[in-house]
Amino acid sequence: MIALAHPARRAILQRLSLGEARVTEIARPFDMSLNAVSKHILILERAHLVRRRRDGREHFLAANIDPLGEAADWIEQYRRLWRERLDRLNEYLRELQLNEKKQPKEKDNDRKQ
């Protein structure tokens, strides 16, 4: 999910969904350095959303649509998402109960049953 949080990375994936491309081709429409674009690509590669193929000195990038990889990937994405989300829920429940102790009247009815 984090890999997709940046608009540049979503745009890169959008470009690659049209077909394979060189790093320089991907970087062209962006108003940022080749170095910065490379960093975004690296994040996408780490998330297995982008694949790199080398042909001599040229590097070609493609959106990763390997079905097995993708299947493992969405499950992994959601495992991470739920873990983080439930951490926040846990924290929230704790805060909520702390506040309730301070103001026992307010939420008392909600807690019954």
Partner 1 sequence: MTANNSPETTSHESGVVVTRIFDAPRALVWKAWTDPQHLMKWWGPKNFTLPTCKVDLRVGGKYLFCMRSPEGKDLWSTGTYREVVPREKLVYIYSFADEKGNIVPASHYWMGVDLPLEMKVIITFEDHQGKTKMTLRHIGLPAGEMEEMTSVGWNESFDKLAASLK
Chain residues that interact with partner 1, rule: CB under 8 A: 1, 4-7, 10, 13-14, 17, 49, 63-65, 67-68, 70-71, 73-75, 77-79, 82-86, 88-94, 96-97, 110-113
Distances (CA, A) of 106 to 35, 39, 78, 89: 55, 50, 35, 20
Residue number with CB closer to partner 1 (36 or 93): 93
The residue written with tokens 């979503």 in the block is 10
CB of 86 to partner 1, least distance (A): 5
The residue written with tokens 């429409």 in the block is 29
Q: Under a CB-based contact definition with an 8 Å cutoff, are residues 62 and 16 in contact? A: yes
Residue of 11, 8, 53 whose CA lies nearest to 33: 8
CB of 38 to partner 1, least distance (A): 19
CB of 109 to partner 1, least distance (A): 10
Residue number with CB closer to partner 1 (36 or 58): 36
